[in-house]
């Protein structure tokens, strides 16, 4: 099938999904143990979207993310050591503890970056795509955004501009059924948001967001179209948020049946089942164990790393008047 990932790529996606899953689980434990600070937004159950959609990107391509970005970060190539350390506010984090988990940015990897203003990832990627077009490059910019973010005005404005100028941007709508605590039916009168692509003549597709391979295929087609200069595409990945909105969420509004049904379609299970014949159970389990060990090591290292101390240094220079 066109734009299908190779077996090597599929194993790598599997590995990254396990990295993210383990990270989420460890963060959950640390939160319960009172060892985290500030809200943390887990994406377990949604890993296939972030990992599948970024698997075909080059380092020089750009990704913009949301408050729920762990899978996007890992997918685009950030290491779990720097992510874990940033989330735990350490000097060794990607941003020296200045940013926190919602705002991780790492320009060298094309992750610029997390964004906790809902919807803001969308014009951010559109602006990068404009930059690429003005410079005459062949990179693409990709934004992730949620079903809640799709209701913001900047989503509309960005799609209109991107389509009008045929910008090399890929819109990845991560439809996890919920805004913050409210079901999508309380946020929008239409269940399939990709219908809106037609309003901008943007090719749009719905994919199974729990199947990394399906996500990969749809997004790879969109990426190719963007690189050919044919403009933006919209991929709506249907998935489900298995945890509360964040660590501060009291929960209680997600249906048990829904949770069970989606758990049965866990993206890591789906990936495992589809790979096991070709790759063998042993190899896959080894990949998983190594991923788990990598995250555990990252968490331990982060917990032992020093907290930053405030200093007036090069990062505060643009704000020099204060000091």
For Mg ion, which residue of 24, 47, 86, 147 counts as binding (CB under 5 A)?
A: 147
Residue 62 touches which of ligand TPP, its own copies, Mg ion, none (Cβ within 5-8 Å per kind): none
Among 148, 209, 231, 244, contact with ligand TPP (rule: CB under 6 A)? 148
Tell me the HSE value of 30 on the side-chain side, using a 13 A CA sphere. 22
Contact positions toward its own copies, by CB under 8 A?
151-157, 160, 163-164, 186-190, 193, 195-196, 198-201
Q: At 216, give phi and psi (nearest 5°).
A: -55, -50
Tell me: does residue 274 bind another protein (CB under 8 A): no
The continuous run of DSSP H or E covering 206 comes out as: strand 204-208
Residue 179 binds another protein (CB under 8 A): yes
Residue 178 binding partner per list another protein, its own copies, ligand TPP, none, with a CB distance cut-off of 5 to 8 Å that depends on partner kind: ligand TPP
Helix, strand, or coil (residue 153): helix
If one asks whether residue 146 binds Mg ion (CB under 5 A), the answer comes out as yes
One residue of 58, 117, 297, 312 binding ligand TPP per CB under 6 A = 117
Pair 166, 201: CB distance under 8 Å: no
Cα 236–chain centre separation:
13
Helix (H, G, I), strand (E, B) or coil at 121: helix
Please pick, from the candidates 46, 126, 254, 271, the single residue that binds another protein as defined by CB under 8 A: 126
* 3-state SS assignment for residue 190: coil
User: Is residue 39 a contact partner of residue 247, using CB atoms and an 8 Å limit?
Assistant: yes
Nearest to 50 by CA among 138, 111, 119, 116: 111
Q: Does 118 bind ligand TPP (CB under 6 A)?
A: yes
Task: Name the residue among 198, 194, 185, 186 with its Cα closest to residue 238.
Answer: 194
Q: Which of 63, 85, 112, 149 binds ligand TPP (CB under 6 A)?
A: 149
Name which of Mg ion, its own copies, another protein, none residue 201 binds, using a CB cut-off of 5 to 8 Å depending on partner kind. Answer: its own copies
User: Contact positions toward ligand TPP, by CB under 6 A?
Assistant: 66-68, 116-118, 146-149, 176, 178-180, 241, 245
């Amino acid at each position: 099938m066109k734009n299908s990932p190779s077996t090597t790529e599929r194993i790598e996606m599997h590995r990254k999904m396990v990295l993210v899953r383990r990270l989420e689980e460890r963060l959950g434990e640390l939160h319960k143990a009172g060892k985290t600070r500030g809200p943390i937004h887990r994406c377990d159950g949604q890993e296939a979207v972030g990992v599948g959609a970024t698997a075909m990107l080059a380092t020089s391509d750009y990704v913009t993310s949301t408050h729920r970005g762990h899978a996007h970060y890992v997918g685009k190539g950030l290491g779990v050591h720097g992510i874990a350390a940033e989330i735990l506010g350490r000097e060794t984090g990607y941003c020296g503890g200045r940013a926190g988990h919602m705002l991780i940015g790492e320009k060298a990897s094309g992750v610029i970056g997390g964004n906790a203003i809902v919807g803001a990832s969308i014009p951010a990627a559109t602006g990068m795509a404009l930059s690429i077009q003005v410079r005459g490059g062949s990179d693409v910019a990709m934004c992730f955004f949620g079903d809640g973010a799709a209701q913001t005005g900047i989503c509309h404005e960005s799609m209109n501009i991107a389509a009008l100028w045929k910008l090399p941007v890929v819109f990845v709508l991560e439809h996890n059924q919920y805004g913050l605590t409210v079901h999508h039916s309380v946020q929008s009168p239409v269940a399939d948001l990709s219908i809106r692509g037609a309003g901008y003549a943007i090719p749009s597709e719905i994919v199974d967001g729990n199947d990394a391979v399906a996500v990969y295929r749809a997004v790879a087609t969109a990426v190719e179209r963007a690189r050919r200069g044919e403009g933006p595409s919209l991929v709506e990945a249907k998935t489900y948020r298995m945890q509360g909105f964040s660590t501060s969420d009291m929960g209680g509004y997600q249906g048990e049946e829904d949770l069970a049904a989606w758990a049965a379609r866990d993206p890591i299970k789906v990936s495992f089942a589809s790979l096991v014949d070709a790759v063998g159970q042993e190899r896959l389990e080894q990949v998983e164990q190594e991923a788990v060990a990598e995250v555990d090591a990252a968490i331990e290292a982060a917990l032992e790393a020093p907290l930053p101390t405030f200093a007036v240094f090069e990062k505060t220079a643009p704000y020099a008047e204060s000091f």
